[in-house]
Homo-oligomer: A and B are copies of this chain.
Amino acid sequence: MTCIFSVSWIVTLSLIYNGSKNSCILITIRWCYFLCFTSALQDRDNKFLTKSVEEAYKAVECGDGHPFGAVVRNDAVVVSCHNTVLRNPNLTAHAEINAISEACQKLNQNYLADYEIYACCEPCPMSLVAIQLSKIKRLVYGAKAEAAVAIGFDPSIADAPNQKSELEIKKADGAVAVTAEQVFENARGKFLMS
């Protein structure tokens, strides 16, 4: 971000130096807009990723399931769920599957093209295909699946399936990603594996 900001100023100042005043103003406005937009997006990503992490802890605390959480959202609707594979045993009840199911039922529709999904951990292949089927436009996740495998989850959850859809996928970075990675170490031994 700092780098982009610096470059934008270098470009702007060099254009000013060359006397191209109007272009400069236009470019500066564009860069300011871009910076505000990316900053707002980053804040939004951090907010909902943090919510998915809170859901992950909730899954373990209430004994519902494994430490995974997911949030499906757009500007009007927010659905937030955790993994419930241990509550009325159901191994398909992953956080992302629960969030998509609840969002579909809440909205009375099967496709979620205007929605984003936030998952505290990289989705397993089953959940990723469900996300693709739902036509959700953007996935942001915190921890790599390997962080879950490291505390005993089936290595197959880290097998990414073919990614042919138009889904945009972002691996979070910074403090929120660290918080998401820590979920597994913090939850280790506090839930049943099956």
Contact = CB atoms under 8 A, between A and B. Distances in A.
A134 B162 CA distance: 21
A98 to B, nearest CB: 9
Interface in A90-107: 90-93, 97, 100-101, 104-105, 107
A159 B104 CA distance: 24
A89 B103 CA distance: 9
Interface stretch (A4-12, A124-132, A178-186): A124-132
Interface in A55-102: 85-86, 88-93, 97, 100-101
Contacts of A126: 126, 129-130, 133
Given A111-B194, A161-B159, A164-B156, A105 B88 contact: yes
Contacts of A97: 92
Q: How large is the interface on A (under 10, 10 to 19, 20 to 34, 35 or more residues)?
A: 20 to 34
Interface string A140-165: 00000000000000101001011011
Contacts of A92: 92, 97, 100-101, 104, 130, 133
A109 interface: yes
A39 interface: no
B100 A91 contact: yes
A110 interface: yes
